Structures are given as C-alpha cells and as structure tokens.
Amino acid sequence: MPHLPSINPATGEVVGEVPITPATEVQAAVDRARKAQPAWNDLGLDGRATVLKRAAAILNERAAAHGELITREMGKPLREGLAEARSLGESLAREVDEMVEALEPEVLEDGVGRSTVYHDPLGVVGAITPWNFPMSMPSWMVLPALVAGNSVILKPSEETPLCGQAYADALNEVLPAGVLTVVHGADDQGKALVQSNVDMIAFTGSREVGKHILRESSGTLKRVVLELGGKDPMIVLDDADIEKAATFAAFNSFRNCGQVCVSTERIFVLDSIADEFEAALSGLAAAMTVGNGLDDVDVGPMVNAGQRDHVLAQVDAAVASGAIVLTGGRGHHDNFVTPTVLTGVTEAMEIGHIETFGPVACVTRVSSDDEAVQRANDTHFGLGAVVFGGDEARTSAVARRLTAGMIGVNRGVGGVVGTPWVGARESGFGFHKSKDGHRQFTQTRVLTRSL
C-alpha cells in the first residue's frame, strides 16, 4: 500500500508517514461507519458525552507531544503549537456540555398542542479539515458530530496527516470501534468522500474547493457546512490608539505565518494618521524573527513551497504595479518568507482581492470613514473584519456597516463563549460553534400531540 509522507516545512525532513486510503475504498469505510452508528446513538446524549469526556485526560497527557508534532508537521512556532494542543483537552468537557445543552429536546406549548423539538443524528458525517490548525479544526467538526450521535469519517489535510491521525487516535481510545474512522490522501480521497453516501460534509478550506463540494453535494442534497476563508479588512480611524492598532495588525497579519482564515490582509487607514501607523507597523514587522518553529522565533515557515510561491508572486506583482515595500520584501529563503508591509495597495492588484494566506500586511490610505467602509466591503469574501477607533459610537457605527460574519472592535473577531463562528458572502455556508452551530450536525424533528 502506498504511503503519504509528512514533510517538515522548516527542514525538508520526513516527520513520518501514513498509509494512503485508496479512493475506491472510501465508500466501504462509510458503510462500516454506518453500521457502527446506531449503537453509538443508542447510548443517548448523556451517555455519549460521558464517553467523550474521558478523552480529555488523554489529550492533556499528550499535549506536549502533540504540540511539538504540530510544529514539526506544519511549521508554526512551538508556543503556538503547544497552545493549540493544550486547548483540546482543557476545553473538551466544557464544549461537550455546551453541545449537550444545545441538543437537548425542547418543549413548546400553545394551549392547543405540545410540540417536542428533537435534534437527532444525521447518520454519517464526513469531515475534511485543513492544515493550518491541524488538531483544533478536526475537533471543531468531529466533536459536535459525535456528541449528536453521528459516526464520522475524518479526512485530514494531506499536509498534516500525522496530526489528524493523532487526534483521532486519542478519541478512539474511548470510542466504540467504527464510530470515528480516518481516511488519508489528497484530492482523490476528498472527492470520493464527497461523492459517497455520507449524510453531511463539513469542510474548511479554499473557496474554490468549497464551491466544488457544494455542487457535488447537490445531487443528493447532502447537508453541507463550509468555512472558506477570507480577505479580512481592518479599518483604523483617525482617533484610534495607533500603538494598539499597529500591535494588533502585526500580530494578526503575521501569526502562523499569515496562514489563518481571519488574518488581517487589508488595512485601511485614515490619511491623517497613516504615516504614524505605517511607521509603527513596519517597526514591529522588522523586529520579528523568522525560523524553525522549534526555535524561539516569532514566525515559522510557510507550509510548503507552493504556498510560498503564491505569496511571493502576489508581492512581486503588487510592487510591479506600484505598491511600495515599507519593510521586508527580501531575505526569503526555502519556505521562509520575511514579514512584509506594503503600502499603496489597490483592489486592482491581485494581493488586494485574492486571499494571500501569508505574512504580508497591505496598507491603503483612505480619506473618510465612508471610503474605508466601501473599500473594506469591496470583496467576495466576508469572514471577519476589525475596526480600531477611539469614539465608541463612531467605531460601532463603522463596524455595523461592514459585510462580514464576525467584526471585532479594538480587538480580534473571536466572540465570547457560545457565539457562532460564521462568515458572510463566499466565506461560509453554515457555521460552527454556538447552539445553532452544533445543531447543524443534526436532523431536527418535531413531534406534536394535542393537549
């Protein structure tokens, strides 16, 4: 059987390998998962929650090893890999409890009848997960599907198969056989899973692949949840705390080497403060260290050479079209890209409208709040957006005019516990987290009796 090697993007060394699942065998894996699902469902909501909570101790015990694996396999700095790995076990019990609460039956009466709203399993869920958060993203899809009583087929990214397998291995130590299955491979295996008779596909990745999944799923009207990235804007108003705004812009443009779906990719700054903001952001970017994530660095490598080439091609094309490099733009080598700040970026440039997914901050000067909002909304995407300003009413008014699923005011886009992770426009179809997000992994049934 052929194997899929996992390559450390910082060194080019082979981290490990997994057996590739022949695409012709994916449907058989789905069939086995379907046979295992009824017994898992029969445990009931509380029974399934009890089983899954046992995995928390396993994930906590392995957090250090998992964190290092994340760094070796996809490149992010070790402290970020450890934070991702530790969050899995630390939050599992709380998240399971949230899911149980969301899926409990609801009773409604109107004086004539009594309706009970049930949230039942769909059957078999296919989860296709990305490489940039190679353990937390599987958890976002696998955990709510399992709590709901589904069995799951997980296809982790071919860039990070070891992380996906390690996460599944931890859960499978407590799960009944056949409830969670991993298939490994690339496009052929993903397409086979979408074309199989699974009842739902949950996917995080590119907009183009998401559209393909939506088309392929239409024949049988599979349930689909898609999180498709973005081209997130940041607006800096002229009464903003410039140091705070620049610090956030540097963090959110360059963390995980810019390989985050809600990275800040377009920054619109009011003219009167643009010089000061650009100087602050450029200074922060220039001070960042780049290298192997296992060392004490701020920025690791791009995940592979293809992603590196995409980023550098966008930068070169922007500069050729008139953008100015304030810092960075040189010193790139192997899969390492120097944090780069560009100014004078326009929507006509590819980097102004196509997702970069790399360590590049693009600054555009604007003359008014209205222009900032218009240009921020001039995109097919709509995942997140951020506004920095001093006056609360003005900043909130600008934020409410932005076409995005999640908007941060003087902070990032992540909401408080219980809020959905949701995109607008072509950044999403359905959403994760929250009661409504958890319920997307279920079939709603309404049973009504007369009073």
Please give the pLDDT value at position 100. 98
Question: Can you tell me the mean pLDDT for 84-88?
Answer: 98
pLDDT per position as a tens digit, 132-174 = 999 999 999 999 999 999 999 999 999 999 999 999 999 999 9
Q: Give the DSSP per-residue string, 272-304.
A: HHHHHHHHHHHHHHHT--BS-TTSS-SB---SS
Closest CA to 26 of 155, 152, 191, 192: 192
User: Which residues lie below 8 Å from residue 132, measured CB to CB, with a gap of 6+?
Assistant: 74, 256, 259, 260, 261, 303
pLDDT per position as a tens digit, 316-368 = 999 999 999 999 999 999 999 999 999 999 999 999 999 999 999 999 999 99
Please give the pLDDT value at position 226. 96
Please give the pLDDT value at position 1. 72
Please give the pLDDT value at position 237. 98
Q: How many Å separate Cα 49 from the centre of its chain?
A: 24
Region of 345 please: left (phi>0), alpha (psi -120 to 50) or beta. beta
Residue from 227, 265, 355, 426 carrying the catalytic annotation: 227
Please give the pLDDT value at position 344. 97
pLDDT per position as a tens digit, 44-76 = 999 999 999 999 999 999 999 999 999 999 999
Residue from 261, 265, 278, 426 carrying the catalytic annotation: 261
Strand partners, 431: 422
Please give the pLDDT value at position 229. 86
pLDDT per position as a tens digit, 207-225 = 999 999 999 999 999 999 9
Contact 319, 360 (CB under 8 A): no
Annotation marks residue 173 as catalytic: no
What span, in angstroms and rounded, lies between the C-alpha atoms of 106 and 436? 14
Please give the pLDDT value at position 347. 94
**Domains contained in the chain, CATH given:** 3-228 (3.40.605.10), 233-416 (3.40.309.10)
When pLDDT is cut at 50, 70 and 90, the band that residue 431 belongs to is confident
What span, in angstroms and rounded, lies between the C-alpha atoms of 334 and 403? 37
In angstroms, how far is the first alpha carbon of the chain from the final one? Answer: 62
Evaluate if pTM is beyond 0.75: yes
Please give the pLDDT value at position 403. 97
Question: Can you tell me the mean pLDDT for 232-256?
Answer: 98
Residue whose pair of structure tokens reads 């196509």 in the numeric block: 354
When pLDDT is cut at 50, 70 and 90, the band that residue 264 belongs to is very high
Contact 191, 316 (CB under 8 A): no
What span, in angstroms and rounded, lies between the C-alpha atoms of 418 and 104? 16
Contact 256, 290 (CB under 8 A): no
Contact 75, 10 (CB under 8 A): yes
Q: What are phi and psi of 17, to 5 degrees?
A: -150, 160
What span, in angstroms and rounded, lies between the C-alpha atoms of 401 and 266? 17
> What's the CA dihedral at 10, 15, 21, 26 to 10 degrees?
-60
Annotation marks residue 265 as catalytic: no
When pLDDT is cut at 50, 70 and 90, the band that residue 397 belongs to is very high
Please give the pLDDT value at position 217. 95
User: Taking 90 as the threshold, does the pLDDT of residue 122 lie above it?
Assistant: yes
Structure tokens at 408: 């941060």
Structure tokens at 400: 């409410």
